[in-house]
Structure 1
Amino acid sequence: MLKLRLLTWDVKDTLVRLRAAGGVGRRQPVGESYAAEAWAHGLRVQPEALSQSFRAAYGAQSRRFPNYGRGCGLSSQQWWVDVVKQTFRLSGVHEDGVLTLMAEKLYHDFCNARNWEVLPGASETLSWCCQHGFRMGVVSNFDNRLENVLSQCNLRHHFEFILTSENAGFAKPDRRIFEKALRLGGVPAEQAAHVGDDYTRDYRAARAVGMHSFLLQAARQGEEPEVPPEHILPTLGHLLALIEKG
């Protein structure tokens, strides 16, 4: 059995995922939410177009101002407002007044549990870990809304600390965010493990600082290189068995 004292967790697509507006499918959750907001202002924009525009706007903003504008003179709220406005512009909406209203509303809406759903097995697995005496923390490439998102989803109470990339000043896979998590947890790397769904940002990055790590592959296609089967979680519910086996 692994001698673990601290478990750190990724959040998005590990513990929670975006929920499409009105519960309509899950293929275009961002596009659905943005389209619903546009509809409230009398505008008809297709969710598929908005999802495609969002990916382009988000990518460009991330390259220009990494980590939600931290260190670039932007607040994360302004960073996101600019992304939302550009998403709508790329989809053919250009009226500044409406863009500002929609962007501010959507920024606040994505703190709300209506836009997030807890992944199957997440609550039960976190409860089990707490009951078995593990110290618990979050290490997530997220802005400062994450604490509220976790509270809204009734998950916040499981964690001793919430470490976001905006707060830390470093984004995964930068080793410094994991090193800060280890300091917050008060344990050496060999007594800690990280759980996440991204091979590079979660699995490899945690192992690079000497932590154990588990890769959630429930919704992934194919297998990542160099990941032993005993490090792969088909579902979160498999964590207990892998810790005990290790």
Structure 2
Amino acid sequence: MSSRVRALSFDAGGTLIAPWPSVGQVYADAAAANGFPGLPAPIIEEGFRRAWRSRAGFDYSLNAWRELVLETFSGLCARDVVHGFFPDLYRQFARPEHWRVLPGASSLLSELRSRGFLLAVTSNWDERLRPLLGALGLADRFAVITISMEAGWQKPDRRIFLKTCSDLGVLPDETLHVGDSPGEDVEGAKAAGLKSALFDPSLGGSLASCVEAALG
């Protein structure tokens, strides 16, 4: 018999929050602020996505981000120029004005807490996530925030999910994990014994409807 869900774990990027107005635009603005105006945000965005897809096992370290940014700007800016403005760009994504809480996420978290669920974040991210969630008004909704750079494991490694459950004081099969990656979130959570739900905003459904369907 399936255990009753007592806790919910959420992915962060693409599930609760998203870059604003876009990764490409923030990158273009950083380049412009450092003497290289006019770089097209859509081309930068395409370069970022291509570079991101090519990196299996991205470790979220400062050096990993630097190499990703260098590849993103390949053919658009000289490497020494990108090296020069990388620190500023890295700081930009720690700022709440470059992120938005996805529609319905904040109200859903409040409602789930009012129903007695324990809430957590389980995210592949770095040291910027915790203060960012605080600045966006979300951190206090969560009993636990598990970040890959701190935990030492990345999704889909089952150990990062088990850490979240252990820190919450619940069993894996009492926990529902919700995220936008079939591999990292859904399969990773299942491998750890959690229930899981895929949130795909491109299909037009809300995060609330995704969660309620999974809770049954």
Q: State the TM-score, normalized to the length of structure 1.
A: 0.79
* 4+ residue segments displaced more than 6 Å: none
Aligned residue number for residue 228 of structure 1: none
Aligned equivalent of 1:130, options 85, 110, 113: 113
2:196 counterpart SS class = strand
Change (3 A) 1:83 1:240: closer
Q: Does 1:67 align with 2:59?
A: yes
Q: Does 1:148 align with 2:131?
A: yes
Aligned residue number for residue 160 of structure 1: 143
Query: Partner letter of residue 110 of structure 2?
Result: S
Aligned residue number for residue 226 of structure 1: none
Structure 1 position 137, deviation (Å): 1.0
Change (3 A) 1:87 1:242: closer
Q: String of CA shifts for 1:81-126, please: whole Å, max 9, x gaps.
A: 23223322x1331162x42332101101101111110111000000
Equivalent-residue separation in structure 1 for 2:31 and 2:142 (angstroms) = 36
Equivalent-residue separation in structure 1 for 2:214 and 2:49 (angstroms) = 36
Equivalent-residue separation in structure 2 for 1:119 and 1:141 (angstroms) = 18
1:219 counterpart SS class = helix
Aligned residue number for residue 85 of structure 1: 70
Please report the RMSD computed on the Cα atoms of aligned residues, expressed in angstroms: 2.2
Aligned residue number for residue 24 of structure 1: none
Q: Does 1:16 align with 2:17?
A: yes
Question: Do the aligned partners of 1:53 and 1:91 also contact (CA within 8 Å) in 2?
Answer: no
Give the alignment of 1:39-118 within 5 angstroms: 39-43=32-36, 44-60=38-54, 62-63=55-56, 66-68=58-60, 76-88=61-73, 90-94=74-78, 96=80, 98-118=81-101
Query: Partner letter of residue 116 of structure 1?
Result: W
Aligned residue number for residue 224 of structure 1: none
Question: Do the aligned partners of 1:67 and 1:170 also contact (CA within 8 Å) in 2?
Answer: no
How many residues are matched? Answer: 214
Question: Do the aligned partners of 1:130 and 1:158 also contact (CA within 8 Å) in 2?
Answer: yes
Equivalent-residue separation in structure 1 for 2:211 and 2:105 (angstroms) = 12
Among the aligned pairs, what percent are the same residue?
Answer: 34
Q: Does 1:34 align with 2:27?
A: yes
Structure 1 position 50, deviation (Å): 1.5
Gaps of 5+ in 1: 21-28, 69-75, 222-233
Equivalent-residue separation in structure 2 for 1:238 and 1:53 (angstroms) = 33
Q: State the TM-score, normalized to the length of structure 2.
A: 0.89
1:67 counterpart SS class = coil
Question: Do the aligned partners of 1:45 and 1:91 also contact (CA within 8 Å) in 2?
Answer: no
